[in-house]
A = this chain, B = another copy of it.
């Protein structure tokens, strides 16, 4: 796999440089860290929101830093959790006295390092709460996780908790609405090709020319089943079936996210969306809003995930609230 990079060991630093210079009006890098914050952080009186994780999932997470969404994103090396000291720097940079919520995807390394950072921050007198996102219905445990993995549904947590913080919610209120999103969001994905970590230089796994991996994780962790590549309609059916088995969406208002994992043409994402929408209509669900694009990727993996979020009036209002984050628009 060819890469357009300078030095495989320096991709994260180079990426951050490129991101900050692309959006100099809205974000900044904390000097000597891999932390991106809102340019105006800390925002007086506002709860701070910090997320992050391994790099390679762009636009997650730095693309979601902005007014109405995250206050900071911490970038680890590719597919590697950021260290506790980096997370601590982010917490300190966004705390204005109202406390900080950590939004953590459920991977063992992330949970451990973010929790350690929370303890360090609390020792410095900062009030910290955390939520752990585990929206992936594919597998209960995996090579990277105890319990379910956090994948694209995390973006809805960023958006909705971010809107709640922006409108002045307290730390407990912001945490409560983040937990509500986590209870109501489910995702599952499929991959048709692997990805290559730049420093590793070879694909993380192999798939035969006619195979796909159902229930893939965003680091290429194994899913449920490896089988012949199915049609878009079959894939849409299989992913939504598994989601519906896990949570009853009947007669709900839902937000839909069709997320490309990196190399999949947008044409194919729209084709999958067409079937997903037909399935939801058949089941009596009302689609409130749909997002099609790349939100939580896995380098140049080909494939997609489907995320459904059950909405009530509060979640709709917060989902619709304005945001200046470069990678999300309502």
Contact = CB atoms under 8 A, between A and B. Distances in A.
Given A21-B274, A273-B22, A268 B5 contact: yes
B17 A274 contact: yes
A250 B22 CA distance: 20
A273 B2 contact: no
Contact of A292 (B18, B256, B287): B18
Given A22-B292, A262-B263, A274-B21, A268 B304 contact: no
A154 interface: no
Interface residues of A, number: 63
Contacts of A56: 265, 267
Contact of A297 (B17, B232, B265, B297): B265
A193 interface: yes
A299 to B, nearest CB: 5
Interface in A217-245: 229, 231-233, 235
28 contacts: A2-B192, A2-B229, A2-B302, A4-B232, A4-B268, A5-B231, A15-B267, A18-B269, A18-B270, A18-B271, A18-B272, A18-B277, A19-B292, A21-B273, A21-B274, A21-B277, A22-B273, A22-B277, A22-B292, A23-B290, A56-B267, A58-B265, A58-B267, A59-B266, A63-B266, A263-B302, A292-B326, A329-B329
Interface of A: 2-7, 11, 14-19, 21-23, 55-56, 58-59, 63, 190, 192-193, 209-210, 212, 229, 231-233, 235, 256, 258, 262-275, 277-278, 287, 290-292, 294, 297, 299-300, 302-304, 326, 329
